[in-house]
Amino acid sequence: MRQSPTLPPKTILNEPTELSTGKSGSFSPADHSVKDQQYKEQTSLCAVSRVVMNDTTTQAPTKTLPAHLSGTALLLSLIAKWFDANPGHAVRITNENAYLTKRWRDLSKVEKCQRGFQYAAETDGIALSLNFSDLIQARAREHEDPAGYLSDRVTTKLRKHGLAGLPFAFVLEFSMTGKLHAHGVIVPMGQQLQIIEKAFSEAGGRVAGKSAARQLKTSELFGGQGFYRYARKARKNTTVVLEGRRFAIMNRSLNKDAQDFHENNRPKKQRPFKLNDTE
């Protein structure tokens, strides 16, 4: 007795038996060779679909973002959405450099000091970090104006070494361990760096032992604004320790130079052009 051919397992498990109708209206079994080819094509399509779905899931994890966005476009879209959700922060970022258009007299003390750091960077200034002796630290903390007290010490030592009027500014910082030190800038004005360093070291007080070698560090000043932000990194802790007293100061020489620098580089608003009646 002739046996009917056995269907492939994949056809039996994965494909339902399909029947086709003839002209007489009766049903006949479907062509298995055609079904095998269809199964291969569908299997390949499913594999491709899984890859596309995985890539799409990786690039666009949320349904709110189109799947066709590139990596950069996707990042910019996420940033834009974040700023839309935080309008207050966006305003602060937008107005970060708004002080550049103000007149010098309208700048805050913080902004003036920041301009002083920027001017120093434009004139081959020097960046410094100065540690103070225990005695000077104690006197500064007890003084009603710690920054002014230390500035007077620097001014006295500069005058002693023939450097009167040398432009400088610094920001006091109290570390988390309670140690007082300063970060600042100097405009050398052609003076010898060795003499300048000696004056500032004397202003910091006598430091004994191995700490004396690390009392003063100087280096070339590359970015005034960046260094100013670094100098103010512990401003919250310093404000608490000094109980609201000022912790930044700029001497008169640098103040005058920074003012001229600011006004000469401040973007001016141009008046609208109007024709005279006589023209």
C-alpha–C-alpha distance, residues 169 and 200, integer Å: 12
Choice between 59 and 117, residue whose per-residue pLDDT is larger: 117
Report the predicted TM-score, pTM, of the whole model to 2 decimal places: 0.62
Between 59 and 200, name the one with better pLDDT: 200
| Better-scored residue on pLDDT, 9 or 151 | 151
SS (H, E, C) the chain: CCCCCCCCHHHHHHCCCCEEECCCCCEEECCHHHHHHHHHHHHHHHHHHHHHHHHHHHHCCCCCCCCCCCHHHHHHHHHHHHHHHCHHHHHHHHCCCHHHHCCHHHCCHHHHHHHHHHHHHHCCCEEEEEECCHHHHHHHHHCCCHHHHHHHHHHHHHHHCCCCCCCEEEEEEECCCCCEEEEEEECCCCCCHHHHHHHHHHHCCCCCHHHHHHCEEEEECCCHHHHHHHHCCCHHHHHHHCCCCCCEEECHHHHHHHHHHHHHHCCCCCCCCCCCCCC
pLDDT in tens, 42-78: 555 454 444 444 444 444 444 454 555 556 667 766 7
Q: What is the pLDDT of residue 214?
A: 85
Residue 57: what pLDDT? 43
- Torsions phi, psi of 187, nearest 5? -105, 105
* pLDDT tens digits along 155-181: 999 999 999 999 999 999 988 778 899
Residue 28 has pLDDT above 50, yes or no: no
Cα 10 to Cα 25: distance, rounded to the nearest angstrom: 29
Tell me the C-alpha distance between 185 and 121, whole Å: 8
Distance CA 140, CA 71 (A): 53
Q: Which domains does the chain have, with CATH numbers?
A: 107-265 (3.40.1310)
- pLDDT recorded at residue 208: 80
**CA gyration radius, the chain:** 37
User: What's the mean per-residue pLDDT of the chain?
Assistant: 77
pLDDT digits (tens, 9 = 90+) for 212-264: 888 999 999 988 989 999 999 988 888 888 888 999 999 999 999 999 999 99
